[in-house]
Structure formats: C-alpha cells, structure tokens
Amino acid sequence: MSTKFFKILHKSKKSKARLGKIHTYHGTIITPSFVPCATKGTLKGILPSLLKEIKIQVAFVNTYHLVMSPGTSVIKKSGGIHAFSKLNIPLMSDSGGFQVFSLAENNRKKNTRRADVRGDEQPLVIKISKDGVTFRSTFKGETLIFTPEKSIEYQIDIGSDIMMAFDECTYYPATYKYAKEAMERTHKWLLRCIKKKKELKEKDYKRYLYGIIQGGTHKDLRNISSEFVSSQKTDGVAIGGVSVHETKKEMREQVKWASKYLPKEKPVHLLGVGQLDDILDLVAYGIDTFDCVEPTRLARVGKVFQKNKSNVLKTRSWNAIDIKNNDYRHDLSPLDKNCNCYVCTNFTKAYIHHLFKQKELIGYSLLTYHNLKFMEDFFERIREKIASDRL
C-alpha cells in the first residue's frame, strides 16, 4: 500500500527511455528489464537457487500451460506459483490469450477440426465468441473454455504478481475487418478483466493488472487500441501481437504508433520481443519490460550469445556461435571472453561442446545460464546509458 507500484527514477533527455522501479510483494524490478520465460513454472535448466547470482529480476509464466499442467488448484493449494516453484522473484503471467492466436492460426491453416491434436503449443480452437474461447486441449484432448473472468481467476490462483488481461492476439497478416473485430473484443474483455479482478480481491498479496494493446498491423487500430487501453484503470499496459510473424520494421512501427498514447506514469511491457537490436530501439519508445524465449531457447540448441568487443552496446547486434560446431572441439577459451559469469570463468568451449555432443544435461544449463547473464548485463548497460542520457 505504502510503496507505489511504479516509480520513474530518471527520464532520458534523448528519447522516451526511462529508468524505473516496479515494486511488488515478491521484490523490486529496476527497469528497463528483461523478463525470461519460465513457461511451465521453471526456467528451463536453471535451479531457482541460481536466480540471484544471474541477477534475474523477474520471470514470465504462461497461464495456458500451467492450467494444463499441473493445474491451478495444486498451485493455489501450495500457496501460489512462488511457493510451488521457488521462483522467489516477481512473476508476470500472460492471460492465455496468446494461445487464442495460435489456435486461430492453426485452425485457419488446417481448415479442419481434428478429433485429437498432439503437440504443445497449438491446441485446436473450436469457437471464438464474444464470451471467450473454446478449444480442445493438446494435453489430454479435453474441451476447455477461456473467458476474461476465467483467465483472471486462473492468474489469481497461480499467484503471479503482474497479470495480463485476456486478449485476442490476431494472426498475421489479419484483414482490417478481422483485426478490428478482435481488437474490439479485446477491449471489452479488458473491462471484464478489471471488473473480475475487483470482485475477487486477492487477499494474500497484491496483484497488478496490465491491459493489452492490439490492432494488428493497422495504424489507426493501433492508435485506437493504445488510447483505449491506456485510459483504463490498470496498473500497467502491455503491447501485444507485434512479434507474431511481422518483419522487424512492421514490429517497430506498431510499437511506435502505440507509443504516442502510452501512459507516462504506468509501466509498459512488450510481449514476446527480445532481440538485442529491437530492445535498444524500443526502450527509446518507453518500453520498460520485455519477455522473450529467445536467449533460453537458443541456449538449448547450442547458440551462445557473445558481446562485441568489451561493450555490448557499441554495436546493435550480438554474435551467436553454435557450440556444437566442430571448430570448438579443442577450443580452451571461454564461451565469451568478455563475460565474467560462472560459466565463462569456469568452463571452456571444448568442455561445453563435449557436453552438447553427448547430450549431457548440464550443457543446457550452462549455456542457458550464460545467455541469461548476457541479457542481464545487456540491460544493465541500457540502464547506465539512460541514467546518463546517452540513449
């Protein structure tokens, strides 16, 4: 109650970039910040006891995945996702809405309703209506309904600190007509989410709600959505649907359009964007937090993020080498000679190459650790630059 949810510490004189502080029951996030994905309640390959030394401030969990397994009842019973997973840092959750997109796209592509669908990310949508979304689960094939109210209930049970309103993330490219309908649905759903959250009144600790800006690739829809969502009584705002299949140029445009209407006093999250060059450009539009699976997913296939020279911000792109490459078989240098993380100060490329070739479990952990530390270092530099008005 006493501490404000979001506080701006410094505004850059050069852009809309700002240094901020998000306060939650489970800790404080200094922004801009990266939000690594702990989709199913685990940061893949990383024991929670390591979060502190990697300096991870916040993570992202996925409501759809957690509803499917282990189910929200056991998470609630155990005192929430923090207690359940021991991810003792602020956690954000999505609404399940992103799945609406994959469902719709899946449906559109296949143009068929298969009786049972396997696979993790693409359940079969049965119906999108003004009430919500009905779909068939990919876990056990059962029929499920996600509505704005259900989504909020689920997220409160999960116990994330920052919740997203239920939205429809339209497929790309969506027609103007469809994008408008989906956006209007998303706005109505936002009002229902706000209402539901008020009714439920979480008792143990305060949750915060972000509305989601949609509108596809259409400028006027993005403007309308940004203005509408920003004007609602939410704790923060998120921009959705920008990293679906758009080009980088389109994605940046969509953020730029929205940025004009973004509330200056609320934190802004960008959903699903995490490439370094994008982050650098979009921080300048006032984005405070970014979630993305890329650094962790790439780590698990052997891709190593490396700083350019000694300063990662000197150039806009990162190098990524593939540790599985035979060039590294006898390479006794660290993953990144400019990195001082546990992995780079202890292990050689040759050792991690060997672990990957032999599919040894700690190979995935070590590379994930390094890539996450890389991201944290990257954001630390960004914050330094903002503090000194150089971004």
What does the binding site for a second copy look like in residue numbers (CB under 8 A)?
A: 40-42, 44-49, 69-70, 73-74, 77-78, 84-86, 329-330, 332, 342, 346-348, 350-351, 353-355, 357-358, 360-362, 364-366
207 or 349: CB nearest a second copy: 349
In the complex, the smallest distance separating the C-beta of residue 354 from a second copy, rounded to whole angstroms, is 4
Could you tell me if residue 96 is left (phi over 0), alpha (psi between -120 and 50 degrees) or otherwise beta? left
Instruction: Give the bridge partners for 75, in sequence order.
Output: none
Q: Which of 94, 167, 235, 288 is catalytic?
A: 94
Task: Specify the amino acid at residue 173.
Answer: P
83 or 387: CB nearest a second copy: 83
Q: Which of 161, 281, 288, 291 is catalytic?
A: 291
Whether the upstream peptide bond of residue 295 has omega within 30° of 0, thus cis, is no
| CA dist., res. 33 & res. 106, Å (int) | 32
Catalytic annotation present for 94: yes
Q: What are phi and psi of 325, to 5 degrees?
A: -60, 135
In the complex, the smallest distance separating the C-beta of residue 32 from a second copy, rounded to whole angstroms, is 28
Cβ 61 vs Cβ 160: under 8 Å: yes
Q: What are phi and psi of 28, to 5 degrees?
A: -115, 140
Q: What is the DSSP string of 180-219?
A: HHHHHHHHHHHHHHHHHHHHH--SSS--EEEEEE--TT-H
Cβ 353 vs Cβ 331: under 8 Å: yes
In the complex, the smallest distance separating the C-beta of residue 351 from a second copy, rounded to whole angstroms, is 5
Catalytic annotation present for 157: no
Cβ 254 vs Cβ 170: under 8 Å: no
23 or 357: CB nearest a second copy: 357
What residues contact 87, with CB distance under 8 A and at least 6 apart?
Answer: 38, 41, 42, 43, 48, 51, 59, 61, 81
Name the DSSP class of 323: T
22 or 352: CB nearest a second copy: 352
In the complex, the smallest distance separating the C-beta of residue 242 from a second copy, rounded to whole angstroms, is 28
Name the DSSP class of 115: S
In the complex, the smallest distance separating the C-beta of residue 27 from a second copy, rounded to whole angstroms, is 17
27 or 70: CB nearest a second copy: 70
Task: Specify the amino acid at residue 255.
Answer: V
What residues contact 140, with CB distance under 8 A and at least 6 apart?
Answer: none
325 or 346: CB nearest a second copy: 346
79 or 390: CB nearest a second copy: 79
In the complex, the smallest distance separating the C-beta of residue 339 from a second copy, rounded to whole angstroms, is 16
Task: Specify the amino acid at residue 149.
Answer: E
| CA dist., res. 123 & res. 116, Å (int) | 9
Q: Output the six-digit token pair for 208.
A: 């915060």
In the complex, the smallest distance separating the C-beta of residue 25 from a second copy, rounded to whole angstroms, is 19
N-term to C-term CA, the chain: 33
> Among all residues, which ones are annotated catalytic?
94, 291
